[in-house]
Chain A
Amino acid sequence: MINSSSDNVNKLNSISRRMFITGSLKFLIMVGIVSRLFFLQVKENKKYLTLSDKNRIREWKLAPVRGEFHDYFGNVIAGNFEAYQLHIIPEQVEDFRYVIYRVKDLLELSEKDFKKVLKKKNEIKPWETLIVSDNLSWKKFSKINNHLYDLNGVKPVISISRNYPYKENFTHLIGYVSQANEDDIEKVEAIKKNFVPGLKVGKVGLEKSFEEKLIGTNDIERYEVNAYGRRISQLEFQKGKKGKTLRLTIDTEIQKLTNKLLKDQAGSICVMDIYTGAIIAMQSSPSFDPNLFVFGISQDDWQLIRNDPMKPLVNKTLQGNYSPGSTIKPIVALSALENGIINTNFTVNCRGHKHPLELYGQSYHCWKKEGHGFMNLRNAMKQSCDTYFYEVARKLGVDKLSVTAKKFGLGKEVFGGLFNIEKKGLIPNTQWKKNALGQSWLLGETIITGIGQGYIQITPIQLCLMTAQIANGGYKIYPKIVVNENEKNQPIDKFTPLYENSKNIRLIQDAMYASTNEARGTSYRSRINDPKYQFAGKTGTAQVKKITEKDRELDLKTFEIPYEERDHALYVAFGPYKSPRYALSVIVEHGGNGSTTAAPMAKELFKLIIDRHEIRQLMDNKRYLEV
């Protein structure tokens, strides 16, 4: 009994001891758990709160509304319209197969388009939007709406999309929009930021150049979602900003005329304000309808555009490198005058094809078979005597010529970096040839450069700028397309004189006047006598291949020569002559002769340009008063 009770005491002691140890352990563990709770809920609370919000809140971005393009008078040349679309969210559809076949019947989808839709469906998550059709006609759209009772989960949506009301008139200038690809997203920050599936972005032209201004910002919908991504409730709707609307300096009426004039021909026309540098019209032909690209161009249309021998995809105004032909002569003459190589009395005798200029066994012919006889500067410009300019170029040398040409904007991008496609052209000099070709310059090359052949290459917009700067009395200007765009940071060298002696500029202007308005001038037939519209210009006919002796003997008419071998027709002009305001350049590829093809277009243009000028002025005054 004693034994048993002492054992009992021992047992009780033992269990109490162990209970004490256990109790201490329990206390420690409890402290551990409480500190863990404290750490998670108090110390790290912010972090986990953010994570929890990240879990439950999801944003849906909607496509931003793109800014528009207006012409100078406020006409919408690239706008937005309401496109009727059909969306399906697959997970909301009970019987997807039934619905999609029903939709196929209603919309009369082709087998090919239908397969495309099915493929798209497999690529997206079931709760994402499947765009079955992005541009439905009103008829089909209303048909769908009438059958909605039968189409659970199908959503007719009115979405905003790009529209170019003037179709092919502005294609090369404005460009077009199309679905953004990976490259676009990667390169442009604004696209990356505002990207939503199906977002349309500028692919070429001003649509691309001003992407960041035009794109606007997304509408943002914030939803609370559950763990499976299903929307539970809308928390917030944040309205996005519409992109900036850009007003251009373009006059739609003149632009339309340029398009009409160049119809069925390859070429370019640009018209520029000689003081402000405002581009009034700028067209490259042939053109195409940019609306085709907005919802993805069909294969047939694309092949048609791509395989056109006149290359509608090339913006000839900015990308076309042409030999300037005789349109370079004002610059050659100006350079010679400025450098004191010649004066107004300098005379060269042009003796026709029987007595060409001979140099190292090469002969250089004037265009006129019979020759011009004794020519001074004014006459040589007027009749575009090649022999005279051979001689002037020989005396001047290509290096001095290139300095003057570059001063007047040749051989350099006119718009700076605005258009990434713009070409520089080429104003050659001896140094250039050594660097680029590793050969030394030949005198014969100087001679043909004097009439705008050989290495020299210019773009139509450069030619227009050159003419404008001659017309405004020899002052530097910066062409612009968008109104108000350059107002703040004007380049400091704007309106700096480009001449040594302003008399020289006047001589050139006068010679160009003669060329158009005096008998025997090359564009005399395209003159306008009314001083209100009277303009001065210079023709150019650029050879695209070397003229052989045989060709000279045959002396074929333009239409008898194969299209690819016909000369390019060029014309530069400014007007009205009494108080010049506008300059233009016309290039018609393989158009034959500058005086017969290009100059008449200038005549038509000036009639309209001067009339429109008054309206433009009125408009400016009105705006001025409003401000």
Chain B
Amino acid sequence: MYQHKRFTTSSFNFFQKFKNFDYILLVCILLLGFLSLTTMYSTDGGKVLFHTKSHFTKLIVFTIMMLIISFINIKYWFYIGYISYLLVIGLLIWTYLFGITSSGSQRWIDLYFINLQPSELMKIFIILCLAKYFHRMKLEKVNSVYTILTSLIIILLPMGLVIVQPDLGTSILIAISGIAVLWFAGINYKYFIYTMLGFVISLPFVIAFLKPYQKLRVLTFLNPDKDPLGAGYQIIQSKIAVGSGGIFGKGFLKGTQSYLEFLPEKHTDFIFTLFSEEFGFVGSAFLLIIYSIIIYRIVAIGSGSRSYFAKIFCYSFGAAIFVFITINMSMVLGLLPIVGSPLPIMSYGGSSMLATMIGFGIVMSAKVHNQQLIA
């Protein structure tokens, strides 16, 4: 009986997996991939050049990878929570020791077929690790000093390794991913409030410790017109590009700001600027809707999962993705200082896409195996 049942569930499971699959999320991710490819084509000046080709390859490879991940039982992801975290820490140390230096910071590992940026992976694996950490924890134990200290160490260790690269932007995003888990795990509100207050109070001191170029970024954010050709150039040009897009945009491949090279970093951090210039308010709103649906689906999958691990992972991942998106957009729209943060899937960059796709894959897996209980 037991054997039989197991056999049937097993075979049934395979179809069940397809049935359980979240097609809305998949469609949205594919749509996003398509949009990102189109935009990348535009950044190449309407030709299939290096960025487009490379982006296309990565998109295909990582989407397939995501699909494979989604069929792997969620419990295996639970099992490798700590190990994967430690592995990425190892990669970060490796980066610190032997990484490739480019434009003043040492962020990459040369893997021959890809230059891997472990700090991007950490954005996901820190969630995985902390989700596992809190999975079995009793609620009253969550707020113990020991727990808080342990989780803080889990967050601060990679942060430190990323800050020394130096890469303040990514380390903040890693921290946000971690804090998102702490939040959903139920750490007392007062700690968040205290931390927030402490941050605000210590802000002037933090600024005093910032590197000159970082200080400049903050000052530029506060008043970009002070040095329009220097530090304020990026943000001013970005705002001009977005603003001049208007309601319907300048049209595909017609973004003058980008193809006349006024836009900085148009492949990576400022890709939304180009998209917004060419497709206007309508296009941007459409993109935001796709992102919103994706996040909504992630949260919905989380709430539909039986296991606490899947729940907390989905919620935290959804929150983290949301923050990545909003920080990037706020930055190019002049609402936040310029910090290096890519727009998930849209921006050019293998590691970021890899990390995001792994995240999506785990979420998909949570959906496919939503009845899976993890002991």
Contact = CB atoms under 8 A, between A and B. Distances in A.
B186 interface: yes
B260 A15 contact: no
Interface in A338-368: none
Contacts of B186: 11, 14-15, 18
Nearest to A19: B315
Contacts of B237: 55
A36 B334 CA distance: 9
A55 B285 contact: no
A48 B285 contact: no
B332 to A, nearest CB: 10
B333 A56 contact: no
Interface string B227-256: 000000000010111111111000000001
B222 interface: no
Chain B residues touching A, majority SS: helix
Interface string A7-19: 1101110111011
A37 B281 contact: yes
A145 interface: no
B330 interface: yes
A48 B333 contact: no
Contacts of A22: 183-184, 315, 319
A51 B241 CA distance: 9
Interface extent on B, as a size class? 35 or more
A23 B329 CA distance: 18
A45 interface: yes
Nearest to A44: B243
A586 B340 CA distance: 85
Chain A residues touching B, majority SS: helix
Interface in B245-271: 245-247, 256-257, 260-262
Contacts of B311: 12, 15
A33 interface: yes
Nearest to A54: B240
Interface in B167-211: 183-186
Given A41-B281, A232-B260, A8 B308 contact: yes
Interface residues of A, number: 39
A224 interface: yes
B285 A18 contact: no
Interface of A: 7-8, 10-12, 14-16, 18-19, 22-23, 26, 29-30, 32-34, 36-38, 40-42, 44-45, 47-49, 51-52, 55-56, 224-228, 232
Identify the 7 closest CB pairs spanning chains A and B, nearest first.
A48-B243, A52-B244, A41-B281, A226-B260, A14-B186, A227-B261, A40-B243
Given A32-B335, A36-B335, A49-B246, 14 more contacts: A19-B184, A19-B303, A22-B319, A26-B295, A33-B329, A33-B333, A37-B288, A41-B247, A41-B276, A42-B246, A49-B243, A55-B240, A55-B260, A55-B262
Interface of B: 138-140, 183-186, 237, 239-247, 256-257, 260-262, 276, 280-281, 284-285, 288, 292, 295, 299, 302-303, 308, 311-312, 315, 319, 322, 326, 329-330, 333, 335
8 contacts: A12-B311, A22-B184, A22-B319, A26-B319, A36-B335, A48-B242, A51-B243, A56-B256
